[in-house]
């Protein structure tokens, strides 16, 4: 094949321009912003270089609240959604009738607008002067008092946020796990059956090791996704998340950039870099653990 | 004296056991299906309840005997829902079209052409996939603000165009086309561009369709970037529109009208999903993640 250097770069030019302007340059710039002290976005000047932005962010009570919320969200939603998805995928894989219908239905939340459906969840959980809302009605059947899940106590709000997050992330997990389970060779199961292996043992000794790469992929992406949670919270509690005590780290970044307390790209950058140091650390820990437990064939 | 093993009872027991496991499985799947579908049912139901009927129900009803379409009329007349809709269509079509051009050209260069630094360039491209959008959005916001592109379609579209993942996906597909076709076309004096449009794109149409649908979904649901870059209602997309409706539209209590707006916004994607669900699920399984 003849070399056509010029022509090839010409074909790549649009991609390089877009990626350079909106992905590479911003990545470098965000580090620079985070070290520029007292940056003024109107005059584009700053008066020093240092770690002040980081220290400001780390002492900001709103940021600490956001970190707390994000960690709670991650700790609850990642194990619950992964476990539930595993259970449902195993169920899906063991049936023949209606399998495709169930699969299609389960995938539906993936394509819907997070903001729009969040509004429905808000209505289901909200307690207003006119009505206690559907969820409270159900709680009432079990003899529990009405709770305002949207403007009420912290843990009630956190519960709705976790519930909605799980609802939103399930389709992707079910999809990946179902195809992983379907790709396990039937031979292994047949062999186990001949030996009279119990279901539980078959599951822990055959199924889990065979799907462990997909499972760990989901856990890692699940952690990353949950740390970046934001739109779900907005959908449920509105744009003023600080007032609702439901802000997330990403929400804090955006608020710093624009919004009620906005106009501070330096603080936003520092917060974003702190977030991604956390994500990177957790991902590395995950990878280290996975090395011990994941079987790549 | 032992009784001979009664195979029939054992078999019966086993059958009963497997049947009860099956029942539990179906029950579990049905429960999750209800959890998934119920919000959709509720939004449809609420959207056809009249405002007065809705507000008078202290205990919400699971059905309505007097459905009304007044809420849909309200959704289009009281708030500029049609404008939000149109903006989103323009944004989605323009972004997706530009993405396709950029992606096809880049994938072609990586799959078909030979040039110095190709391997290095491709590795660098792949490395870009790991950059989280939350990091780069800060500078992009400042860039677009400085270019005075806030509240313009340009400002909305430009940073949303490229997705490295799609370039990668299409390159893999392009690379599967046998070289012989290319040489045959060369012998016939076909130009590279013509070969790309007449041979490669038609062969790889399934992948291109998948990429297109995934991008359309992404655009239709995008919220964060439009929220940062637009504060004039004239440029709101549906996600921002719904947030605006929630905070300032209809009045906080007119939930049926709100739900009508939610239905209108959700329907296009649900239709696309019902038509293309196989392609969408396949595409997502090949490596798409949400957000």
Can you tell me the ipTM of this complex?
A: 0.89
Question: Do both B59 and B101 map to the same domain?
Answer: no
Please tell me the predicted confidence (pLDDT) of residue B248: 79
Q: Tell whether pTM > 0.80.
A: yes
Residues of B in contact with A116 (CB under 8 A): 238-239, 242, 262, 265-266
Q: How many CB atoms lie within 10 A of CB A188?
A: 15
Distance CA A231, CA A226 (A): 11
- β-pair partners for B13: none
Q: Are residues B263 and B151 in the same domain?
A: yes
Whether residue B258 is found in the same domain as residue B117:
yes
Residues 170-209 of A with CB under 8 A from B: 170, 172, 175-176, 179
B24 and B84 share a domain?
no
Give chain A's domains with CATH numbers. 61-112+161-293 (1.10.3720.10)
Boundary (domain end) residue, out of B48, B70, B92 = B70
Answer yes or no: are the C-beta atoms of A248 and A230 closer than 8 Å: yes
Token duo for residue A84: 């539930």
Q: Shortest CB distance from A119 goes to which of B242, B280, B291? A: B242
Domain final residue pick, B70, B99, B120: B70
- B207 and B235 share a domain? yes
> Alpha-carbon distance B85 to B268, whole Å?
10
In-domain check, residue B2: no
CB pairs under 8 A between A and B: 255
Question: Does the beta carbon of A280 lie under 8 angstroms from any beta carbon of chain B?
Answer: no
Of B32, B158, B228, Cβ closest to residue A106 = B32
For residue B291, the model assigns a pLDDT of: 37
Backbone angles phi, psi at A40, to 5 degrees: -115, 120
Helix (H, G, I), strand (E, B) or coil at A238: coil
Give the helix ranges, DSSP H, for A126-248: 134-141, 154-182, 186-194, 199-202, 208-227, 231-237
Cα nearest neighbour of A266 on chain B: B138
pLDDT score at B290: 45
In this structure, is residue B205 part of a structural domain?
yes
Q: Coil, strand or helix: which one is A168? A: helix
Q: Compute how many other C-beta atoms are within 10 angstroms of the C-beta atom of residue B257.
A: 27
My answer on whether B62 and B84 are in the same domain is no
Name the DSSP class of A290: H
CA A195 to chain CA centroid, Å, is 41
For A41-83, the pLDDT digits (tens) are: 666 677 778 888 899 999 999 999 999 999 999 999 999 999 9
Q: What is the DSSP string of A47-67?
A: -EESSHHHHHHHH-HHHHHHH
Q: Which among A273, A278, A271, A236 is positioned nearest to A256, based on CA atoms?
A: A271
Quote the pLDDT of residue B102.
95
Token pair for residue A133? Answer: 């809302």
Closest-CA residue in chain B for A91?
B25
Are B90 and B184 found together in one domain?
yes
Check B39 against A121: CB less than 8 A apart.
Answer: yes
Task: Please work out, in degrees rounded to the nearest 5, the angle formed at the alpha carbon of residue B204 by the alpha carbons of B202 and B207.
Answer: 130
> Does residue B275 fall inside a structural domain?
yes
Q: Specify if B29 maps to a domain.
A: yes
| HSE, side-chain direction, 13 A CA sphere, residue A267 | 24
CB B262 within 8 A of CB B43: yes
Kindly state whether residue B209 falls inside one of the protein's structural domains: yes
Task: Report A:224-243 residues touching B (Cβ under 8 A).
Answer: 224-225, 228, 230-231, 234, 238-239
Q: Considering only CA atoms, which of B164, B163, B160 is closest in space to residue B229?
A: B160
* DSSP string covering chain B: -PPPP-HHHHHHHHHHHHHHHHHHHHHHHHHHHHHHHHHHHHHHHHHTS-HHHHHH-SS--S--SS--SHHHHHHHHTS-HHHHHHHHHHHHHHHHHHHHHHHHHHHHHHHH---TTHHHHHHHHHHHTTS-HHHHHHHHHHHHHHTT-TTSHHHHHGGGS--HHHHHHHHHHHHTS-HHHHHHHHHTT--HHHHIIIIIHHHTHHHHHHHHHHHHHHHHH--HHHHHH--SGGG--HHHHHHHHHHHSS-TT-HHHHHHHHHHHHHHHHHHHHHHHHHHHHHHHTT----
Burial group, residue A55, by CB count within 10 angstroms (0-12, 13-18, 19+): exposed
CA-CA distance, A12 to B107, in Å (whole number)?
A: 8
Q: Can you list the residues of chain B whose pLDDT is less than 50?
A: 1, 290-291
pLDDT at residue B62 in the model: 83
Residue A69 near residue A246 (C-beta atoms within 8 A)? yes
Do B201 and B61 lie in one domain? The reply is no
Distance CA A173, CA A180 (A): 10
Phi, psi (deg, nearest 5) at residue A95: -115, 160
Q: Is B62 a domain residue?
A: yes
Q: Tell me which DSSP letter residue A40 carries.
A: B
Other CB atoms within a 10 A radius of the CB of residue A56 amount to 16
Q: How far apart are CA A288 and CA B85, in angstroms?
A: 47
- Would you give per-residue pLDDT tens digits along chain A (297 residues)? 456 788 899 999 999 999 999 999 999 999 998 898 877 666 667 777 888 889 999 999 999 999 999 999 999 999 999 999 999 999 999 888 899 999 999 999 999 888 999 999 998 998 877 777 888 888 888 887 788 888 889 999 999 999 999 999 999 999 999 999 988 888 998 999 898 888 889 888 889 999 998 899 899 999 999 999 999 999 999 888 888 899 999 999 998 887 665 678 888 999 999 999 999 999 999 888 888 877 775
CA dihedral (B128, B131, B133, B136) in degrees, to 10, reads: -90
Q: What CATH number does the domain containing B280 carry? A: 1.10.3720.10
Distance from CA of A273 to the nearest CA of B (A): 7
Domain boundary among the residues B24, B47, B70 is at B70
Same domain, yes or no: B18 and B131: no
Scan for tokens 């462990």, then name that residue.
A212
* Structural domain count, chain B: 2
Does one domain contain both B92 and B18? no
**Does residue B183 sit within a domain?**
yes
- Of B26, B167, B239, which is closest to A115 when you measure between CB atoms? B239
Note whether B55 and B253 are within 8 A (CB): yes
Residues of B in contact with A1 (CB under 8 A): 114
Torsion of CA B13, B19, B24, B30, to 10 degrees: -170
- In this complex, do B134 and A14 lie within 8 Å of one another by their Cβ atoms? no
Domain identity same for B197 and B239: yes
pLDDT given for residue A149 in this prediction: 86
The parent domain of residue B220 ranges over: 80-285
Check A175 against B106: CB less than 8 A apart: no
In a shared domain, residues B146 and B275: yes
CA dihedral in degrees (A80, A82, A87, A92; nearest 10)? 140
B291 in any annotated domain: no
């Amino acid at each position: 094949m003849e070399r056509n250097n010029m022509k090839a770069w010409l074909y790549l030019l649009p991609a390089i321009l877009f990626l350079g302007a909106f992905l590479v340059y911003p990545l470098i710039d965000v580090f620079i912003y985070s070290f520029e002290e007292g940056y003024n976005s109107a005059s584009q000047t700053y008066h020093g270089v240092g770690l002040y932005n980081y220290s400001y962010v780390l002492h900001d009570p709103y940021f600490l609240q956001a970190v707390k919320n994000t960690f709670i969200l991650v700790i609850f939603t990642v194990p619950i959604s992964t476990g539930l998805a595993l259970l449902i995928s195993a169920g899906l894989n063991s049936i023949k009738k209606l399998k495709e219908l169930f699969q299609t239905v389960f995938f539906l939340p993936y394509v819907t607008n997070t903001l729009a459906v969040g509004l429905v969840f808000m209505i289901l959980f909200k307690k207003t002067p006119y009505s206690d809302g559907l969820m409270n009605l159900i709680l009432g059947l079990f003899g529990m008092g009405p709770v305002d899940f949207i403007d009420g106590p912290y843990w009630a709000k956190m519960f709705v946020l976790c519930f909605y997050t799980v609802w939103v992330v399930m389709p992707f997990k079910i999809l990946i796990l179902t195809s992983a389970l379907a790709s396990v060779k039937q031979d292994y199961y047949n062999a186990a059956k001949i030996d009279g292996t119990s279901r539980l043992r078959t599951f822990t000794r055959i199924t889990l090791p065979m799907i462990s790469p997909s499972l760990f992929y989901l856990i890692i992406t699940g952690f990353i996704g949950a740390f970046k949670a934001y739109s779900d919270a907005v959908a449920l509690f509105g744009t003023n998340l600080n007032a609702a005590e439901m802000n997330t780290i990403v929400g804090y970044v955006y608020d710093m950039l624009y919004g009620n307390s906005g106009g501070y790209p330096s603080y936003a950058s520092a917060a974003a870099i702190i977030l991604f140091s956390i994500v990177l650390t957790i991902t590395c820990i995950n990878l280290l653990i996975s090395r011990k437990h994941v079987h790549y064939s | 004296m032992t009784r001979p093993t009664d195979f029939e009872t054992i078999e019966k027991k086993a059958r009963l056991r497997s049947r009860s496991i099956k029942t539990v499985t179906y029950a579990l799947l049905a429960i999750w299906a209800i959890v998934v579908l119920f919000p959709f049912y509720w939004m449809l139901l609420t959207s056809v309840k009249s405002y007065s009927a809705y507000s008078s129900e202290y205990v919400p009803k699971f059905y309505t005997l007097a459905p009304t379409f007044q809420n849909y009329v309200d959704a289009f007349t009281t708030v500029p829902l049609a404008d939000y809709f149109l903006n989103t269509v323009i944004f989605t079509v323009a972004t997706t079209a530009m993405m396709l051009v950029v992606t096809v050209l880049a994938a072609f260069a990586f799959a078909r052409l030979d040039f110095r630094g190709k391997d290095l360039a491709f590795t660098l491209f792949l490395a870009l996939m790991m950059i989280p959008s939350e990091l780069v959005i800060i500078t992009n916001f400042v860039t677009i603000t400085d270019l005075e592109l806030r509240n313009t379609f340009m400002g909305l579209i430009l940073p949303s165009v490229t997705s490295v993942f799609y370039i990668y996906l299409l390159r893999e597909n392009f690379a599967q086309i046998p070289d012989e076709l290319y040489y045959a076309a060369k012998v016939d004096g076909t130009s590279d561009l013509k070969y790309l449009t007449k041979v490669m794109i038609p062969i790889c149409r399934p992948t291109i369709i998948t990429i297109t649908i995934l991008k359309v979904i992404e655009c239709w649901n995008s919220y964060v970037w439009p929220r940062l870059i637009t504060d004039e209602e004239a440029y709101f997309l549906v996600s921002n529109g719904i947030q605006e409706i929630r905070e300032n539209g209809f009045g906080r209590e007119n939930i049926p009208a709100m739900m009508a707006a939610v239905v209108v916004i959700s329907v296009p994607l649900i239709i696309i999903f019902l038509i293309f669900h196989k392609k969408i699920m396949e595409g997502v399984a090949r490596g798409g993640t949400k957000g």
